[in-house]
Amino acid sequence: MIIILKNKHSLKIDDFNFKCCIGKNGLSNKKREGDKKTPIGIFNLGNLYYRNDRLKKPFTKLNCIKIHKRMGWSNNTKDKKNYNKLIDIKNQKKYEKLFRRDYKYDLIIPIKYNWKKNILNKGSCIFLHLTKTYKPTAGCIALKKKDFLIMLKLINKKTKIKIC
pLDDT digits (tens, 9 = 90+) for 77-111: 999 999 999 999 998 889 999 999 999 999 999 99
The pLDDT, as a whole number, for residue 73 is 97
Residue 152's Cβ-count burial label (10 Å; 0-12, 13-18, 19+) is buried
CATH number for the domain spanning 134: value is 2.40.440.10
| CA angle in degrees (0–180, nearest 5) for 37-40-45 | 100
pLDDT of amino acid 149: 98
Query: Would you write out the chain's pLDDT as a tens digit for each of its 164 residues?
Result: 899 998 889 999 999 999 999 999 999 999 999 999 999 999 999 999 999 999 999 999 999 999 999 999 999 999 999 999 999 999 888 999 999 999 999 999 999 999 989 999 999 999 999 999 999 999 999 999 999 999 999 999 999 999 99
In this prediction, residue 91 carries a pLDDT of 81
Residue 126: count of CB within 10 angstroms of its CB: 27
* Residue 22 confidence (pLDDT): 98
Beta carbons of 27 and 163 less than 8 angstroms apart: yes
pLDDT, position 31: 97
SS3 149: helix
pTM of the model: 0.95
* pLDDT of res. 6: 83
Q: Is 48 exposed, middle or buried (0-12, 13-18, 19+ CB in 10 A)?
A: buried
- Overall number of domains in the chain: 1
CA distance 145 to 32: 28
CB contact at 8 A, 74 and 92: yes
Domain span including residue 97: 2-163
